[in-house]
Amino acid sequence: MKVRQALAEAERRLSAVPGQPRQDAELLMAAALGVGPGEMKLRHLDDPVPTAFEDLLRRRLAREPVAYIVGHAGFWTIELEVGPGVLIPRADSETLIEAAVDHFRGRSPVTVLDLGTGPGTLLLAALDQWPTARGLGVDRSEEALDYARRNADRLGIAERSEWGLGDWSDGIESAFDLVLCNPPYIERDAALDPDVVEWEPHEALFAGPDGLDDYRQLATQIERLVAPGGAACLEIGAGQEDAVRELFAGMPFTISSRNDLRGVTRCLVLRR
C-alpha cells in the first residue's frame, strides 16, 4: 500500500476517535517516515507505507494523545518536545501570548515569569517572541522542568531562561514585566475525554471542587510579582471569569479579559 492510500484508510479508522482524523493520520504518518507533514505531502505520498505506521495508528486508536505519540507539539511560533508527565500545549493558551503582545505594543518586556511552566510552553513562546527578554519558569514537577530545559536548549534560548522547582512563586522576591500562568482550573469531578484524563498529569488539570484552588493561592502572591507598567496574563476556564476576577478585586490592577479563537473567555489580564 502507498502512503496516500494508507492515509485515507487511517482517516476512516480514526473517525471513531474524537479529534481531527485526517490531521492525526498525517502527523502519525510523517512521524513514521521521519519527516515533517509538509515534506511528506510533497515528496512521499507514493512511497511504501513504513512498518512503524500501524503501531502508531493503534496507539492513537487506544486514545493516546497524538502529541505523546510523535513526541512534540506546536505552540505559537515554536515546536516543543512533550511526553507523558507534562501538559500538552494547546492553541487556547496562545491567547495569553496574544494578550501580552497587545499589552506591550511594539516594545519588549525585559523580564518574564512563567508559573506552572510545564515543558516551558509560555515562557519559551514569550522569549521567542521577544529576543532580548530573559525569563524564569517555575514548576512543581522536576520531570516537566527536564522537558523545559531540553526545549530551551533545542530552541537556542537556554542562555536567556532559568528554571526553578517550586510551588508557584514561593521564594521569588523579584517583580517581572510579564507574568504568565496557566494553572490547573478544572473541577475535581469534571468529566473529561479519555485522551486527557487517562494520559495527562492530573496535578496540571484539577484544582479542587470548583476549579479555583490555585487561583486563590495565586491571588495572595500576584501583586508583588508584577512590576509597574507590567502585566499578568492568567488562563481561565470557560465560565470562570467572574469568580476569578473577584479573587483579584481590590488590587492595584486594571483587569480585562480576552477570548480565544472559539469566542470563549480564556485569559484574564491584570495590568499594573
Q: Are 214 and 164 in contact (CB under 8 A)?
A: no
The residue written with cell numbers 510552553 in the block is: 121
Q: Are 162 and 133 in contact (CB under 8 A)?
A: no
Retrieve residue 244's grid coordinates: 476569578
- Each residue's pLDDT expressed in tens, for the chain with a length of 272 residues: 999 999 999 999 999 999 899 999 999 999 999 999 999 999 999 999 999 999 999 999 999 999 999 999 999 999 999 999 999 999 999 999 999 999 999 899 999 999 999 999 999 999 999 999 999 999 999 999 999 999 999 999 999 999 999 999 999 999 999 999 999 999 999 999 999 999 999 999 999 999 999 999 999 999 999 999 999 999 999 999 999 999 999 999 999 999 999 999 999 999 99
CB atoms within 10 A of CB 162: 14
Q: Exposed, middle or buried, 173 (CB in 10 Å: 0-12/13-18/19+)?
A: exposed
User: Sheet containing 265-271: which strands, arranged edge to edge?
Assistant: 161-165, 134-139, 111-115, 176-181, 226-235, 265-271, 254-259
Q: What is the CATH number of domain 83-271?
A: 3.40.50.150
Q: Cα–Cα distance between 118 and 89 in angstroms, integer? A: 9
Q: Cα–Cα distance between 44 and 35 in angstroms, integer? A: 9
Q: Cα–Cα distance between 129 and 123 in angstroms, integer? A: 10
The greatest distance separating any two alpha carbons of the chain, rounded to the nearest whole angstrom, comes to 65
Which 3 state secondary structure label does DSSP give 207? coil
Q: Are 32 and 50 in contact (CB under 8 A)?
A: yes
Q: Where are the domains of the chain?
A: 3-62, 83-271
pTM exceeds 0.75: yes
Q: Cα–Cα distance between 6 and 112 in angstroms, integer? A: 45
pLDDT given at position 106: 85
